[in-house]
Each structure stands twice: as structure tokens, then as C-alpha cells.
Amino acid sequence: MKITSLTALEVLDSRGNPTVEADITLEGGATGRALVPAGASTGEKEAVELRDRDPQRYGGLGVQKAVANVQGEISQAILNQELADQADLDHRLIALDGTPNKSRLGANALLAVSMAYARALAAANGKPLYRQLADQASYVLPVPCLNVLNGGRHADNNVDFQEFMIASHNAPTFAESIRMSVETFHALKALLKQKGYYTGVGDEGGFAPNLKSNEEAVELLLEAITKAGYRPGTDISLCLDPASSELWEKGKDGQPGQYRLFKSTQQTFTSAQFNDLWVSWVSQYPIILLEDGMGEDDWAGWQLHTQALGSKIELVGDDIFCTNPAILQAGIDQHIANSVLIKLNQIGTVTETLATVRLAQANGYNQFVSHRSGETEDTFVADLTVATGAGHLKTGSGSRSERIAKFNQLLRIERELGGAGRFAGIKAFKNQ
């Protein structure tokens, strides 16, 4: 279906930093709009987010070049062209950019166009977005994994590990799951206030207090779950994303690398010792998912990590895989992790994202769909999660409207599906 109009605009993400918005009109009048998110804790192998680097505008973070690429070269290449489907458009965009990491035109420029086209196709076909992405008889509603305590790069506190999440899996519906989660979020706020801790929130809507230790973050979550009237490990379990790549120090002069807890103790760990830390935590606490338990450059550590915990819990690769099917295939071949994080802007088009999902599914790997820390009001990832049947999603906490927008979209989808939708529950998580 031909694109008759394509425009772009420099807008703002949830941090107040610029990002790209694209609007598409198809022949026949159907329209689609998309806004691209941005990450802070980013993998080295991610597709390149094109920034202007003009210190006189937005501290160098402007995206006028990416916007100009959409309205210039990309428009000239695709306007009024016969397009067979989403994959046809996306492959044209990839070829037009011509670089392995989309650095010439910018992954933010390409993804805005790719997502907007998916929405326009859905409108033209009279379908909801999730059905445009995958038209099937029934769908799975995901377990929401709420990042209720923030640390690492996502907060200005003394907690080393980036995300401490709750997963309310013992519920009959998504609506009940999100209710349980938000009640626990509010119980956590009351608990923090009672203990004299700061209750401001970080980039993703979770609380970001200074704590006595990283372990205290987990203990606070368990206490909050109980105070909310739920059973840790039975009703609500824990998921962690320590963002270990941020803690990894490459070795010098032939020496092995190490992990350092920069914010708290300055303690260092070998790969084996860091893995032992996670083995200890999993044995003590009801943790069912661990994302980026090892750094993206520590493939040997990842193999050790997978051998130790890969049959017990879900081990998600984010920075190490970057939603890239070629890198994921290398991980599969080397028996690294058992799940892949799915972020649209890590790879740069809808088609490549779906290809990564299919590769994971074909090899028995789970898929954990994710927002970015610099988010927008765009709810594409909610529909993507339902379309792929990924079964679990992380998209913030119990606050900040750019996060809540995704939950609200899932509530709408669940109502719309009725009996054609089922809640994933605990089976969404590997080895549970």
C-alpha cells in the first residue's frame, strides 16, 4: 500500500530529551503515528540513535538531522512507491541506510517510519495494531513486571543494581495482575516513608532511595508484597535487571575483567564470584527472572551463569543480544541465556524485531518485551507483546503516565479480546 505523505517532528521523551515522531498517510487516507523511545543503559551493539551533537541545542541531543532524513531522503525513496507489506518497507529502509548499525540515517529515523507504517496499515485494514502484527484466533495477555525500585544508571542513589521488579503472576486476568502490582507499589511507598526513606521516583517510575545495601532492596520488596496482602513467591515474585554491563571493567594487559559495585561498597568480583552472588540470591529470594546478570562483553561469564542458573530461572540477555537476530543466534549456538529482551529501537525496524522474536521461539528461548528508560506516550510495545505472545512485559512502575499508558492499552486490549485472550500467569517465565 502506497505512502502518500510522510512527515516527522522533533518532540520530547519522558526525560525532556528530543526524540523523533513520524506521521504517515496511505492512499485511501489511513494514517499512523509513532514516537521512538531512547535508552540510557545502552548496549554497545545497539543500532545507532542519530543525534545532532550541537552543544547549542538540547545539550547536543537534538534530532533535527534524523527528522530531516525522514522528510528528505527517506521520503524521496518511499513516497508513492508500491509496497507489498511491512517487511517490504523495512527492507527498503535498511537498504537505503546501507550501514550495519543504521548509523547513516539513524535507527530513530528508520524506526519512527517503520512503526508509523504498521499503525497506518492497521488503520487501513480496520484492525487493532496487535492483530495487524499477528492475526490469530487467540492471544496471551502478559504478566506486567513493574520496576518499583530503581538504582544504577536509572537513579541518583547508592544502589548498584538498576531494576528491582515485581511480577504479579497469580491472577486470573491482566486487570487483576496490574491491580495487585499497583497495590504493592503503594504499600512499598508507605513502607519507605515509614522507614524514613526518600519516596521520589527514578526515570521509570520506581522509587530510588539510598539504602543500606543492595540486598535491602529485595527485602523491602518482600515486606511490601506481604503488607499488600500477597504471598512472596506464590502470588508475586521478583525479577531483577542489575545491568551488569555498567558494572563490568575490562581487564588490562591481558588480565581478566571484573565487576565493581561503584555506588556502594566498591567491592570487586571475578566473573565466577559475580555468578556465585546471583546463585546465592536465587537460593534466598523468590527470583524467577534475572536480566543481564553478566556483562555484554563477558561471554565466558555468561556461559558459566547459564550453566549455573539456566535450568532454574529465566535468564534474559539484553545488552549482550540487543534484539539482533545474528547476535542472538551466536548466543543460542554458545548456550548463553534462555531468553532475549525485545526492544524495538535496539534493532531499528518492526520486521527485524519480529525476526528476533521468531528466532527465539524456534530455539526455545523466551522473549521479554521492554520499554526504554527514555519513553514516550506511544503504546506500541503493549500491542507488540500481545501480538508475539511473549507473556511478560516490563514497562515501568506504578507511576509516570508514559509507563501507565502501556498498562492502560493492555487493559483495553484485554476487554476487546474477551474470551479470545488469556492471562499468561507463572508459565510465562522460563522454568516455572
Burial class of 407 by CB neighbour count within 10 A (0 to 12, 13 to 18, 19+): buried
Using CA atoms, how far apart are residues 225 and 55, in angstroms rounded to an integer?
45
Residues 262, 308: Cα–Cα separation, whole Å: 25
Residues near 389 by beta carbon (within 8 Å), at least 6 away in sequence: 134, 139, 140
> Sheet containing 18-26: which strands, arranged edge to edge?
3-12, 18-26, 31-35
- 3-class state of residue 84 by DSSP: coil
Alpha carbons 196 and 227: distance in angstroms, whole number: 17
Q: What is the phi-psi region of residue 268: left when phi exceeds 0, alpha when psi lies from -120 to 50, beta otherwise?
A: beta
Helix%, strand%, coil% for the chain, nearest 5: 40, 20, 40
102 is in an annotated binding site: no
H or E, element range at 417 = helix 401-417
The residues that bridge with 31 in the sheet, in sequence order, are 25
Q: In sequence order, which residues have a C-beta less than 8 Å from that of residue 377 and are 6 or more positions away?
A: 35, 401, 402, 405
Location of each CATH 3.30.390.10 domain in the chain: 2-126
Which has the closest alpha carbon to 290: 184, 165, 135, 103? 165
The CATH number of the structural domain formed by 139-428 is 3.20.20.120
Residue 174 dihedral angles phi and psi, to the nearest 5°: -60, -40
Is 5 flagged in the annotation as binding?
A: no
Per-residue pLDDT of the chain (432 residues; tens, 9 = 90+): 899 999 999 999 999 999 999 999 999 999 999 999 997 656 678 999 999 999 999 999 999 999 999 999 999 999 999 999 999 999 999 999 999 999 999 999 999 999 999 999 999 999 999 999 999 999 999 999 999 999 887 778 899 999 999 999 999 999 999 999 999 999 999 999 999 999 998 889 999 999 999 999 999 999 999 999 999 999 999 999 999 999 999 988 888 999 999 888 889 999 999 999 999 999 999 999 999 999 999 999 999 999 999 999 999 999 999 999 999 999 999 999 999 999 999 999 999 999 999 999 999 999 999 999 899 999 999 999 999 999 999 999 999 999 999 999 999 999 999 999 999 999 999 999
Is 414 assigned a ligand-binding role in the annotation? Answer: no
How large is the greatest C-alpha to C-alpha distance in the chain, in angstroms?
63
Residue ranges of the chain assigned to CATH 3.20.20.120? 139-428
User: Is 181 assigned to a binding site?
Assistant: no
Q: Which residues are catalytic?
A: 204, 343
CATH architecture observed for domain 2-126? 2-Layer Sandwich (3.30)
* 293-334 pLDDT, tens digit each: 999 999 999 999 999 999 999 999 999 999 999 999 999 999
Q: What is the pLDDT of residues 6-56, one digit of tens each?
A: 999 999 999 999 999 999 999 999 999 999 999 765 667 899 999 999 999
176 in a labelled binding site: no
Q: How far is CA 105 from CA 27, 65, 66, 156, 178, in A?
A: 25, 8, 6, 33, 39
- pTM exceeds 0.95, yes or no: yes
